[in-house]
Structure 1
Amino acid sequence: MQPSEFSMHGAVDLGARKAALEREAKRKAEAASGTANPYAVDATEENFQRDVLERSLQAPVLLLLLASWSNESKQTEQALDKLAVEAGGQWLLAKVDAEVSPQLTQALRAQGIPSLYLVLGGQIQPLAAGPMNEEQVRGLLVQVFTALRQQGVLPEGFTGVGPAQPAEQEQEPKRDPVQAEAAEAVQRGDFAAAEAAYTTALEKDPGNADYTMGLAQVRLLARVRDLDVNKIRKAAADDPTDVAAQCAVADLDMYGGKVEDAFARLVATVRRTSDDDRDRARKHLLGLFEVLPSGDPRVSKARRSLTSALF
């Protein structure tokens, strides 16, 4: 190893450690002064699955990629903290410090810092890049959450900005017991119980789109939780006809929010394989379609590509 390489490696590690300590000190100071946002979490490589992806199965998560030294990041962070408190827990704010979590930062493929993402149902979608003041953030959230309500992804009582429901409106409907049971199982890491809850419910109500999507999401989480990412990606790269490896990488891409990449990989696998291998890739792709709402345009596009690949 060259001395310059060693020095750079040490500098990066020390910088990340320093940034982490500074964020911890900031958190403690806010907690002591009573100004802390109770609906925020610092996200890192270690807790990202548990505190961001899995929690996004129960409620939206706004993911902010920031740099603690940047005044532009602080402006956006303060605006989101204020709006999160106003929303009263309708959504969670997850903060990723680019210095603390460089690998996570790279995986997010940010166009700039700060960058804001929406995480919902385990899927990551970019919302905006660059600094925003409170008015701009509020306007963006109103637009995003209104669209999700109109699509039926979020309940009518969900505003995302301000209180969940004015007092004069009807009482908030009770949470679906099946989804509540499955969510609790996922929270404790019992994916088999979550799958059983949805499977049993679908036997009684086979046309329930919410249960079908919930079951597909739980199965995806269960498949990716113990995968060796580097090993499986190498296997897929080494042998494009290895259907098991291609399906596993598609799962990883889907889990990481790279929906189009996941679909394209399996469509390509269908094209290059035949007989049982082809059918296995096709069925896996159909299963991934169910992770998203049926009206998602990415699903419609991939269905057309699949039809073309088959015929």
Structure 2
Amino acid sequence: MDARPNVFEVALESFPSDVVAGSRVVPAILLFWPDQVPPAAETRRTLENLATQYQGKFALALSDVATTPQLAQQLRVQGIPSIRVIVDGQIADQLEGPQGEAVLRQLIEGMTMSDAERLKDQLARFTAARDWEGALQVLKAALQAEPNNPAFKVEWADVLVHRGDFDDAERVLASIAEETPERERPAMRLELAREAASLDGAAALSRVAADGNDLDARYEAAIAQAVAGDYEEALDQCMAILQTDRKFRDDAGRTTMIRIMATMGKGSDVAQRYRRRMFAFLH
């Protein structure tokens, strides 16, 4: 028996309690393997390493078909190694044959994500493609299942701003408590978008090209670029303002950088990089 409680051997008799019932609490990967087949033994080692890395986010049940073949026969295992994913007492997925670490890691990520994490993963793909209609459909389905989920509402408001539905976004934001994590992201995006609506971004960029010391033009360009999703360009404009005149519009170079970075969400590499640049300049 493995010393780790989330890695254990399973047989036909223990399968209902250890795997099926247990998967209602923690999702399980069931690996059918024999030590005599090198690819199967390698798959076992990879999964054991991943089980350690994921620290109990999934259970790894091991069935040695050479010594206890009955469970493999019941589940109609055809090849070795063979994997079954058990979630909420049901087989949710399966893989046949040797699998590399990347495939196994992707499988684990999918089964251990929370609903909010899974939603964010889907939305990230739609956002990268700027497919706001697709994002909205995903959110509608999520909100239908959990209409009061604040994390889902935050994403809903953010997508509405991207689509230009400012009034609807404002109504959704009004229904979200101020202290809700990441509420600031769509709230600030809405603020910037409404400001950008009164500006001519293309004209501002032309003015910057003609005169790099035109700080009003740089400010207007930064707002327009941030709303368009051109974050690095927008932050470069702000850095130029910051380095030229700290007093411009009451330190607008710094405060506008903070506003733009708020729309980029936690964990943004770009935001972290420019935050370091700003800190280095200020200190």
Please give the range of the TM-score, normalised by the shorter of the 2 chains: 0.3 to 0.5
Which of 1 and 2 has greater Rg?
Answer: 2
Return the structure number with greater relative CO, CA threshold 8 A, min gap 6: 1
Structure 1 length normalisation: TM-score? 0.40
Structure 2 length normalisation: TM-score? 0.43
